[in-house]
Structure 1
Amino acid sequence: MHDVKERPTIVERAMLIGVTLPDDTTTNTRSLLDELRELVDTVGFGIMHERMVAIRKPQAKLLVGSGKAQELVDEAKAYNCDVIIFDNELTPAQQRNWEALAEGKILVIDRQEVILDIFGDRAQTKEAVLQVELARLEHNLPRLKSAWTHLSRQRGGGSMQRDAGETQLELDQRMVRTQISRVKRELEGVIQHRETQRKKRMTVPVPTCAIVGYTNAGKSSLLNKLTNSNILAEDKLFATLDPTSRRCPLPSGQPLVITDTVGFVRNLPHRLVDAFKATLEEAIVSNFLIHVLDVNSPEVDAHAQTTLSVLQELGAKDKKIITVFNKIDALWDEETQADLSLRYPDALFISAHSGEGLKELQDKMEAIVEADFAQLRLLIPHERYDLVARLHREGGVRKEEARDDGFYLVASIPERMLSTVQPFILQNSQT
C-alpha cells in the first residue's frame, strides 16, 4: 500500500500537543496527554516537548488559530522534533495544513494514527491482522491527497506534472478501495470460520467468561493467575490484542473457559471499535464478564466508563459483571480502597501478582456459574460410565463415590443434559 504522506526516513523525536476544547477541561486534557505519552512511548518515539493549548472555538483550517499554530511549529523546530502528535483527532485537511505550515519538514499525526501503529505491530492472528489492515486503509483513504504532493518537488510545477499527479491519485484511490473490498471479503471468511468453531465449542456447553477492562489494567496477568498459564503480560499499553482463551477449573471442579480480550482506551478510533467487534464478540457470547480496573489509576472512573461504553456499543453491557480492582499489592493510598468500596459496593479487590483476593473472585465466579447450572445428586449405573465421563467434561462434579449399585455423584448439570440424567436423579429422601 502507498504511504499516506512522505514520511521522514527516521521518526524519533516527538512533540505532543493537547488542545482543550470549549466543552472540556484542562484537567482532562492533561490526563489524556499523559495517556498519549504512554502510547507514544509504546511506539518507541522519544518525547522532546509537550504543550497544552486552550481554545475558545475550533478552527477548521488548523484546529487552533494560525498564530498559535506557527508558534507551535516554531517550538517543534527549536526542539529538533521530526513529528508533532496531537491528542485531538485531526481531519485530513488539517493534517495537510499543519505539514504545509512546517514546510514539509515535520510529520503531523494524531492519537488515532499512533494507536493504529501499535495495533499493526501487535496483531498476531489472521483475523486481527485483517482488522487492523482494514482500519488503516479506511483511515488512509481520505488522506491520500498528500501522498502525491512530492510530485511537484520532484518534477517541477508545470501543468503536465500536476495532471500526472492527479491521475496517479485517482489510480491510488481506486487501488485502496479495491484493497478495502478484498480485506472485507477475507475478513468475512475468517469470521465465518471462527463462528463455525464457536458453534462446535457450544455443543460442549462449558460456561465461558471474558476478561475486559482498560488497557494495562492487568487482564492478562489475571488470566495467567487463574489458569496457571504463561501468556504475554507486559507493563505496556495493548500488550495483548488477540483474544486468548484458557480452561480454568473452579474449586468445585466445574470447568470454565476464560478469554482475555483487547484492552480499551479513551478516544479509541471508532474504526477500530468497528473492526474489532468480531474479536470482542467473545465478550458478547460469554456467560459473564470480569471487569478489571487498576486500583492505583487516578483516572479509574473514566477508565470504567470507557469500558462500559464500549460494552454498550457491543450489546454486552447488561451481562453479569464482576468488577475487580487489581494491583492492591501496590496500593499507594490506603484511603483509596475505602473510597472505591463506597462507590463500587459489589467490587472485589485483588492482586493478580500476589494472589490476594483471588479466592473471593473464584467463589463469585462459581456462584454465577452454579446459578445457571442445576445442582443434583445422581446414581448412575456402572454400565453408563460414559455419562459419568461426560459430566466430568461438561459439568462440575463436586463429589463422586463408587457404590455397588453404581456411581454416586453430586454435580452441576448443564441445562442441555438435564433430560439425559433425569432417570438417574435421586430424590431428597435417597442418599
Structure 2
Amino acid sequence: MTEDLDEDFFAERQKRSGHETAEKLTRAWVLHPDVKTTKKRRLAEHGLAEAVSLARALPGLEVVGSEVVRLPKVHPGMLFGTGKIEEIKGRIKEHEVDLVLVDGMVGPVQQRNLEKEWGIKLLDRTGLILEIFADRARTREGVLQVELAALTYQRSRLVRAWTHLERQRGGFGFVGGPGETQIESDRRAIDEQVVKLKRQLETVSRRRELQRAGRRKVPFPIVALAGYTNAGKSTLFNKMTGAEVLAKDMLFATLDPTMRGLELPSGQKVILSDTVGFISDLPTQLVAAFRATLEEVLEADLILHVRDISHPETAEQAADVADILTSLGVTSATPQFEIWNKLDLVTPDARAALELAQEGRAGVFALSALTGEGIGALLEAISGVLSEARVQADLELPFAEGRKHAWLHEQGVVRQETEGEAGWSLAVEWTDRQAALYRRL
C-alpha cells in the first residue's frame, strides 16, 4: 500500500477493460432526493435524467430503474424516512439491484446505515463522478489527479470499507471491493499515499508550466473551449481543427485536455484547447485536484463557452458553468463568446425564437458543430477579437516590482528594455486587454 505508483501502474490504468461485457453487469437503481428545504436551479426530473446519464456513462453498470424521492427534510442518520427506506428496499429486492446510486451528497454514517439496511452497496454523486473520471483518465497527470481526488474523498469515509488500488475495471473499488480494514491503519496509509501523489503532481504541474512558458514566448493566442459536459465541445474542436478527439453523446467523454494549432481565415495562427466539461455540484475534491488542468482556461486569450442550446435546462447549465469559471478566477478581462451549439437538434419554431434572442447580442453564435453550420462566422469573429490593435507604451518599473516585470515578459509584450540604478525602463507593445490586466497586478 505504501509502494510508489510506478509506470506499470499507470500503464495498467490506461488500458481499456475488455471484459465488462463478458461479465455480469452491476444492476443499479438511481435515486434523486428532492429536498423541499433545498433551493435548486433545475427541476428534480431533469436532475434525475442527468444522474441516469452519469450512471450510463460508467462501463459495467446497467440502470434498471430510477426515481425522484420527495423529502420534506433530510434525516440525519438515514437520509430518508423509515417508510421510504422500506419502500425502496422492496424495489431493490424485486429488481435484484446490486448498487444504489444517490444523486446527491450522502454522509459516511448515512451511507453505512443505508448499506446495512438494504444489504447492498451505495454510491453518492461524488463517488460516481470519481468512478467515471477514473475510467476516462488517460494521461499520467489525469490519473494522478483522479487518484488524489479519490483518496481525499475516501479518507472522509473511513466508517466503511476502503480498499487501495482495487481495480475491477479501472475504478476505485466504490462499486465493489473486499471489505473492512482497520480505520487508523487506512487513514495513515491514505495520508502517505496523498503526500506521494502531491509530489508527483507538483512535478507534472511544473512540466505543464514550462510548456505554458514556452507557448508564451511564441505569440500564438490561446482559445479555450469551456462548457457543461456533453455540450459538444469535442465535436466543435474536431470540426475546427480536423483533429479526432473522442466525441460521444456521453457525459465526460473528454477528461484530459487537448491542444491543437488552428489557422484562422485571416491567416493568424492560434492554439485551440479542449477542456474537461463542467457539471452542477462538481465535487470539490475534483475541482482542487484538476486545478492545474483547468488553469489552461485562465491562460486563454479568448474563452468559447459552449452551450447545448437544445437542452431543456440550457440556461441553468450556463449558470453553473459561469459559477465554476468565476471560482477558478476567470474575470471579465478575458473575452468570452457564447456558443449556442446543437442547432441541428432544434425545431424550426425554437430556431426562430433563438434567432430573435440572438439579435443585438454581441459575442453570441448559434451553430451546429456536427453539421458545420455557423462555424465560418465564429472563426471570422475569433479573427476579429484576436487581431485587435496593439499600442506602444513606455513603462518605468522599480526593482521591487519584479512580479510585474516577469508578467510582461511572460506575455511577450516587451520590445526593448534597459536597466538603470532604480529599476527597468521598458518599451512595450500590447493590447488594451493586456494593459488592463497589467494595471490589476
Under a length normalisation based on structure 2, what TM-score does the superposition of the two structures give? 0.76
Selected match of 1:234 from 227, 230, 248: 248
CA distance in 1, matches of 2:374, 2:298: 26
> Structure 1's 418 and 304: CA in aligned 2 closer, same or farther, altered over 3 A?
farther
8 Å CA contact 1:374, 1:415 repeated in 2: no
Aligned amino acid, residue 83 of structure 1 = L
Aligned amino acid, residue 59 of structure 1 = H
8 Å CA contact 1:265, 1:303 repeated in 2: yes
The equivalent residue for 2:175 is none
Correspondence 1:180 to 2:194: yes
Aligned amino acid, residue 369 of structure 2 = A
Please state how far the C-alpha of 1:418 moved relative to its aligned partner: 9.1
8 Å CA contact 2:109, 2:159 repeated in 1: no
The equivalent residue for 1:158 is none
The equivalent residue for 2:14 is none
The equivalent residue for 1:326 is 341
Correspondence 1:219 to 2:233: yes
The equivalent residue for 1:119 is 133
Which runs of structure 2 are paired with 1:107-146 in the superposition (5 Å)? 107-146=121-160
Aligned amino acid, residue 29 of structure 1 = A
Please state how far the C-alpha of 1:118 moved relative to its aligned partner: 0.7
Which runs of structure 2 are paired with 1:20-419 in the superposition (5 Å)? 20-22=34-36, 23-24=38-39, 28-44=43-59, 45-102=61-118, 104=119, 106-147=120-161, 168-318=182-332, 319-336=334-351, 338-339=353-354, 341-342=356-357, 345-346=361-362, 347-371=364-388, 373=390, 415-416=413-414
> Structure 1's 26 and 288: CA in aligned 2 closer, same or farther, altered over 3 A?
closer
Please state how far the C-alpha of 1:373 moved relative to its aligned partner: 4.5
For residues 234-283 of structure 1, the C-alpha deviation after alignment (integer angstroms, 9 at most, x for no partner) is 22111111110000011111110010000011111111111111111110
Aligned-residue RMSD, C-alpha: 2.6
Aligned amino acid, residue 384 of structure 2 = A
Residue segments in structure 2 that go unaligned for 5+ positions in a row: 3-22, 164-178, 393-411, 418-426, 428-441
Aligned amino acid, residue 360 of structure 1 = A
For residues 44-79 of structure 1, the C-alpha deviation after alignment (integer angstroms, 9 at most, x for no partner) is 311112121211121101112122112212211111
The equivalent residue for 2:423 is none
CA distance in 1, matches of 2:235, 2:414: 33
8 Å CA contact 2:25, 2:62 repeated in 1: no
Please state how far the C-alpha of 1:371 moved relative to its aligned partner: 1.3
Number of residue-to-residue matches in the alignment? 359
For residues 123-152 of structure 1, the C-alpha deviation after alignment (integer angstroms, 9 at most, x for no partner) is 111111111000000111122232289xxx
What's the secondary structure of 2:195's corresponding residue? helix
Please state how far the C-alpha of 1:342 moved relative to its aligned partner: 2.2
Aligned amino acid, residue 296 of structure 1 = S
8 Å CA contact 1:62, 1:98 repeated in 2: yes
8 Å CA contact 2:161, 2:180 repeated in 1: no
> Structure 1's 230 and 416: CA in aligned 2 closer, same or farther, altered over 3 A?
farther
> Structure 1's 340 and 99: CA in aligned 2 closer, same or farther, altered over 3 A?
farther
What's the secondary structure of 2:224's corresponding residue? strand
Aligned amino acid, residue 86 of structure 2 = Q
> Structure 1's 98 and 325: CA in aligned 2 closer, same or farther, altered over 3 A?
same
8 Å CA contact 1:219, 1:292 repeated in 2: yes
Please state how far the C-alpha of 1:167 moved relative to its aligned partner: 8.3
> Structure 1's 70 and 340: CA in aligned 2 closer, same or farther, altered over 3 A?
farther
Please state how far the C-alpha of 1:181 moved relative to its aligned partner: 1.0
Aligned amino acid, residue 322 of structure 1 = F
> Structure 1's 262 and 341: CA in aligned 2 closer, same or farther, altered over 3 A?
farther
CA distance in 2, matches of 1:241, 1:334: 35
Under a length normalisation based on structure 1, what TM-score does the superposition of the two structures give? 0.78
Please state how far the C-alpha of 1:169 moved relative to its aligned partner: 2.3
Aligned amino acid, residue 29 of structure 2 = M
> Structure 1's 67 and 184: CA in aligned 2 closer, same or farther, altered over 3 A?
same
Please state how far the C-alpha of 1:10 moved relative to its aligned partner: 5.9
Aligned amino acid, residue 374 of structure 2 = G
CA distance in 2, matches of 1:148, 1:342: 51
> Structure 1's 417 and 334: CA in aligned 2 closer, same or farther, altered over 3 A?
farther
CA distance in 2, matches of 1:190, 1:18: 37
8 Å CA contact 1:11, 1:82 repeated in 2: no
8 Å CA contact 1:217, 1:326 repeated in 2: yes
> Structure 1's 374 and 310: CA in aligned 2 closer, same or farther, altered over 3 A?
same
What's the secondary structure of 1:236's corresponding residue? coil
Please state how far the C-alpha of 1:415 moved relative to its aligned partner: 4.5
More helix by share: 1
Aligned amino acid, residue 70 of structure 2 = A
Please state how far the C-alpha of 1:416 moved relative to its aligned partner: 4.5
For residues 194-244 of structure 1, the C-alpha deviation after alignment (integer angstroms, 9 at most, x for no partner) is 101211221112111100011111111111111122221122111111110
